[in-house]
Amino acid sequence: MSSSQSFKRYELPPLPYKIDALEPYISGQVIDVHYNGHHKGYVTNSNATLEKLEKINRGEISGYDIQGVIRNLVFNVNGHKLHSLYWQNMAPNGKGGGKPGGKLADLIATQYGSFDKFKQIFTEAMRSLPGTGWTVLYYDTETGNLEFTTFENHFMNHIAELPVVVIVDEFEHAYYLQYKNNRNSYIDAWWNVVNWDDAEKRLEKYLK
């Protein structure tokens, strides 16, 4: 590898709405810390880890812990990718919440019988997550099912390219400034900002 070779860098995507656009359900202060602090940090740390890999590749660092470097990369890259989905998956200015339409509504009706039953199971999945992590509704391309998963921290077994339909951040930084240790209140509030149009758009992309 010549010294001119390098890895391309990650970039922080713009927040798709104003910092206080999810109020009163998620405060501007929470989003400010979450986006400008945490998400930006994952991008910065992803790129710093890529820089380290470049140096390792050029033989400029000796005695490195490659497993640690990769773990660091996975944590930060997934943190970046998952948050990019999470922002899009919420709708600003009171346009979120309600019920989905389109193919998503059809699949929910076929699999779960009713939106209320689906919402109950989704809520139970979110509440079941031990500690820090995410709850995800995804489309399984093998079965054609909408299925739930939770994962702890940012760690999936691979970089986050799962066919995500709906995603909820359950790190304390996503709610603590507003809801303290009452995570269930954040989960209940989140139902008012979920962006079903974004979920439908994602699902239709996977159905093609």
Number of residue whose CB is nearest Fe ion? 169
Which of the ranges 98-106, 132-140, 164-172, 183-191 carries the binding residues for Fe ion, by CB under 5 A? 164-172
Give the shortest CB-90-to-Fe ion separation in angstroms: 12
Burial of 141 (0-12, 13-18, 19+ CB in 10 A): exposed
Binding range to Fe ion, per CB under 5 A, among 1-9, 17-25, 110-118, 171-179: 171-179
Is the Cβ–Cβ distance between 168 and 126 less than 8 Å?
yes
Of 171, 175, 190, 196, which one interacts with Fe ion (CB under 5 A)? 171
Q: To the nearest whole angstrom, how small is the minimum distance from the Cβ of residue 171 to Fe ion? A: 4
Query: By rule CB under 5 A, what string of x and - marks binding of each residue 73-112 to Fe ion?
Result: ----------------------------------------
Contacts of 206 (CB under 8 A, 6+ apart): 139, 141, 163, 165
Q: In Å, how far from its chain's centre is CA 92?
A: 17
Beta bridge partners of 133: 152
- Sheet containing 146-152, strands listed edge to edge, beginning at the edge strand earlier in sequence: 146-152, 133-139, 164-169
Q: Tell me: does residue 170 bind Fe ion (CB under 5 A).
A: no
Is 42 among the residues that bind Fe ion (CB under 5 A)? no
Residue 30 or 53 with smaller CB distance to Fe ion: 30
Distance (Å, whole) CA 124 – CA 122: 5
Chain residues that interact with Fe ion, rule: CB under 5 A: 169, 171
